[in-house]
Structure 1
């Protein structure tokens, strides 16, 4: 399949290379920062940097919008689509209806629309095994859905048809499971750095915590710690220490109360 990308961030970086590896042709990449587009194009075999968002003469059969949610409206105002193309976004929260509405407002030609959402955290420098990445698919019509399913199956063993509402719920859960968890790791490191202690000492604990959570039928079953035990003396000592970090103290209190209620 001939595919073009709008956006050259972390998602596009991994997805474009995975699609090419699966035998698809990445025709062109556009990014408002041409340096990012050039870096991605240099990783691909026969791809050009698109100078602007006029894809009217593009050979692409599929255009993937791998841009931030807040940028989607601005991109659609400037995007010129080729005839009979499929247009998808990779967002966890933007609905298919929103994309269809933007096409209706801004595009002079009709487009088949869909969602191609990889449920994964992406960092440019960290390799991704795409066969294990859940790909969530939604489309405006059955034929487009079939095409996107086949494309997803070329990449991953985990492909789901998922409505916009289901995808939004999944995205909220993913923020708790991934973004918030990583933020807590970062807080731990900042605290230890301030006291000249080694964050590496926590890594075996982190690995074991994640392993148990993944293997348990419900992560709540393997919850440990002073909040789980109701050990108020330890909790008070922790809170006393955290007076030097008021923001962390408040977060500690909220999470402790949540665990106790659970």
Structure 2
């Protein structure tokens, strides 16, 4: 399949090479940050940068929107696609109906639309990830496009699902809780240990064990530990006293403690 990328950020950095390794051809990469497009092209076989959003003469049949959610409509408003094109977004939270509406309003020709959402955290500049076990969530209101996207997904991953927009948004919220918030808590823990002159490395074994147990359990709630879980209010109060001069830590600690206590009736 002939493919072009609109966006050269975290996802594109990993998805474009994966598609090439599956035998597809990446023709063009557009990014409003030209340097990002050049960097992505440098790890692809023979793709080239594309300096504008007019793809009328592109040989590609599939266009992948890999841009931030708040830029999607603005990009669609300027986008010119060739006849017979299919365009997909890669957002966890934007509904398919939004893309359909934008293309109906802004495109002078009919295009097929869909969603190709990879449920994973990606970082640009890291070694390209294997997609074998990454869940791919597919959606399209056109059966032929849906079939095409499912086949494409199955060439990359063993985990491909038909997921509608509401289900995908729920998964995205859950992923933010499990991934983004967890990483932020680790960053806060590092800030706190560093501020006290301690090494963050001291926490690495407990972090690894926490993830091991949580992933091994049928329900991570079954392996919850800590003062909030056991209703140890004396320790909680000591922690809150220690954090009283650090409001950014105090508030997070208090909210999560109360959430754990409510779950286990340990208030």
When the two structures are superposed, what TM-score results if normalisation uses the length of structure 1?
0.99
Residues 51-70 of structure 1 correspond to what in structure 2 (within 5 A)?
Answer: 51-70=51-70
- The CA distance in 2 between the partners of 1:124 and 1:21, in whole Å, is 18
Residues 204-223 of structure 1 correspond to what in structure 2 (within 5 A)?
Answer: 204-223=205-224
SS in 2 for 1:251: helix
- The CA distance in 1 between the partners of 2:124 and 2:21, in whole Å, is 17
- The CA distance in 1 between the partners of 2:76 and 2:251, in whole Å, is 41
- The CA distance in 1 between the partners of 2:130 and 2:37, in whole Å, is 22
Residues 76-225 of structure 1 correspond to what in structure 2 (within 5 A)?
Answer: 76-127=76-127, 128-225=129-226
- The CA distance in 1 between the partners of 2:31 and 2:230, in whole Å, is 51
| Runs (5+) with no aligned partner, structure 1 | none
| Runs (5+) with no aligned partner, structure 2 | none
- The CA distance in 2 between the partners of 1:73 and 1:87, in whole Å, is 13
- Give how far 1:51 is off: 1.5
- The CA distance in 2 between the partners of 1:31 and 1:112, in whole Å, is 22
Encode CA deviations 1:15-60: one digit per residue, 9 max, x unaligned. 0011001110001000011111011011111111112000011000
Encode CA deviations 1:195-220: one digit per residue, 9 max, x unaligned. 11010111110011001111111000
When the two structures are superposed, what TM-score results if normalisation uses the length of structure 2?
0.97
How many residues in Structure 1 have an aligned counterpart in Structure 2? 262
- The CA distance in 2 between the partners of 1:80 and 1:261, in whole Å, is 52
- Aligned position for 1:23: 23
- The CA distance in 2 between the partners of 1:176 and 1:27, in whole Å, is 36
- Give how far 1:140 is off: 2.1
- Give how far 1:160 is off: 0.6
SS in 2 for 1:120: coil
- Give how far 1:129 is off: 2.3
- The CA distance in 1 between the partners of 2:135 and 2:23, in whole Å, is 20
- The CA distance in 1 between the partners of 2:202 and 2:62, in whole Å, is 47
- Aligned position for 2:47: 47
RMSD: 0.7
Distance 1:125 1:33, change over 3 A: closer
- Aligned position for 2:243: 242
- The CA distance in 2 between the partners of 1:14 and 1:139, in whole Å, is 23
SS in 1 for 2:132: helix
- The CA distance in 1 between the partners of 2:104 and 2:256, in whole Å, is 44
SS in 2 for 1:244: coil
Encode CA deviations 1:83-139: one digit per residue, 9 max, x unaligned. 011100000001110000000000001111000000000012333221011000001
- The CA distance in 2 between the partners of 1:42 and 1:148, in whole Å, is 26
Q: Tell me, yes or no, if the aligned pair for 2:243 and 2:250 is still in contact at 8 Å.
A: yes
SS in 2 for 1:237: helix
SS in 2 for 1:132: coil
